[in-house]
Amino acid sequence: MKFSREFRIGLVIVLALSGAIWGFNFLKGRNIFSPADFYYAVYDDINGLMVSNPVKAYGYKIGKVSRIEYLPGRPQGHLLVELRVENSDFRIPKDSKARIRSSDLLGSREVAIIMGKSSEYLAPGDTLNAQMEQGLSEQVNEMLAPLKVKVENLLGSVDTIIVAFKEVFDEKGMKNITTGLAGIRTVIDNVVALTEDLRGLISAEKGKISQIVAHVEAFTGNLKNNNKKLSSLLTNMEAASDSLRQIPFGLLGKRLASTAAHLDSLIVQVRSQEGTMGRLISSPDLYNDLDSTLVSLNALLEAIKNRPGEYITVTLFGRKSRSTSSTKGNR
C-alpha cells in the first residue's frame, strides 16, 4: 500500500507538532500521558522558584511545579504556585505545609511537602499552608549581622583609643610620661637602697638571727617532747572546767546574797545600839565597867597564885588542915 506524498508530509507535520506540544508541556513540568493530582500554595515571595522545579516529600520526588501565577488584589500572598503530584495514590494530610527551600549549594529551589499528623487528607485542588525557608545567603547574612555589629563597635573603640593616644602623646603628655618615668626610677633606686640596707642588717645580725632560730627550734622541741604532759594538762583543765560547770553558781550566788543581807542587817543592829554588842561598841560606861572588872579579876588571880593558902581550903578525912584554921583565925 502506497501513501501519497501529501499524506506523508501531513503525517510528519502532525508528529512534529505532537512532539513539540509534549516537549513544551514536559519542560513546564507537565506529563500529558500520565494522570496527576494538582495542589496549590500561595506565597508572598517564591525566592527564585521556577516552573518544573521538583516537588518532594520525605526527600523523594513526587512531582513538579507546573504553574506560577500572579494573584492581584490580595493583601497577603499574591503568587499562586501549582504543584503537580504525579502519583495519584499519594495522600497529603490537611495540616501539611509546602515549604520552598534550597535543593543544592548553587541556590536551586524545590518545594518540600512537610507532612502533618492530621487524620484528614487534602483533596486534589486544595491549598496547602505555605512556608519559606531561608536560603544560604539569608542564613549567612543572619549569621554575619551580629558580627557586623561587633566589628562596628570594635572600630568605634579603636577610634577612641587612637584619639586617646593622640592626646597622651602630645607635648604635654610626653612631659608627663617623662616625669612619671623619672619617679618610677627614683622608686626603683629607693627599693635597691632598702634592699642593700636589709642585706647589711641581716649580715650584721646574722648571729642573733641564728640564735633566735635556735631558740625557736628548742622551744618547738620542748613542746614536742612534752606533748604528753601538755595533753595531760589540757585534760586536767578540761576536767576542771567540767567540774566548775557542774557547780550551781546560781544557787551559790543566791546564798551569798542572803548571807550578805544577814550581815548587813547585823551591822545595822550593831550601829543602832541594840543588843549587847551594840551597847558594848557604842556605850563607853559599859566598856569602862567591863575593863574595871577584868582588872579586878586579874588582881584576884595573881593573889590566888601567890597566896593559895589564903583562898583554898583542903579537907582530909573530915579534919581541917592547919592552914585552913589558921587562915580563918587570921581572917
pTM, rounded to two decimals = 0.38
The full DSSP string for 117-171 is --SSBPPTT-EEEEEE---HHHHHHHHHHHHHHHHHHHHHHHHHHHHHHHHHTSH
Beta partners for 99? 112, 131
Going by pLDDT thresholds of 50, 70 and 90, the confidence category of residue 325 is very low
pLDDT at 133 > cutoff 70: yes
Q: Above 80 in pLDDT, residue 279?
A: no
Does the structure show a pLDDT above 80 at 7? Answer: no
Distance (Å, rounded) from C-alpha 327 to C-alpha 128?
163
Contact 113, 62 (CB under 8 A): yes
Reported for 216-220, long-range contacts at CB under 8 A and 24+ positions apart, including other chains, are: none
pLDDT of residue 218: 85
Amino acid at 27: L
Query: Please, what sign has the CA dihedral across residues 184, 185, 190, 194?
Result: positive
Nearest residue to 48 (alpha-carbon basis) of 105, 107, 7: 107
Please compute the mean of the pLDDT values over residues 191-201 and round it to a whole number: 86
pLDDT at 120: 93
Q: Where are the chain's structural domains?
A: 1-33, 34-133, 284-331
pLDDT value at residue 127: 92
Q: Which three cell numbers stand for residue 317?
A: 578525912
pLDDT tens figures, 82-122: 998 988 788 999 999 999 988 887 778 899 999 999 999 99
**pLDDT attached to residue 29:** 54
pLDDT at 290: 75
Flag the least confident range among 94-98, 164-168, 191-195, 321-325.
Answer: 321-325
pLDDT (tens digit per residue) in 28-87: 655 556 678 899 999 988 888 898 899 999 989 998 898 899 887 766 668 899 998 988
Residue 211: which pLDDT band, with cuts at 50, 70 and 90?
Answer: confident
Specify burial of residue 99 (Cβ count, 10 A radius: 0-12, 13-18, 19+). Answer: middle
The Cβ-side half-sphere exposure at 85, using a 13 Å CA radius, reads: 23
Name which of 88-92, 99-103, 245-249, 306-310 the model is least confident about.
Answer: 245-249
Mean pLDDT within 129-157: 78
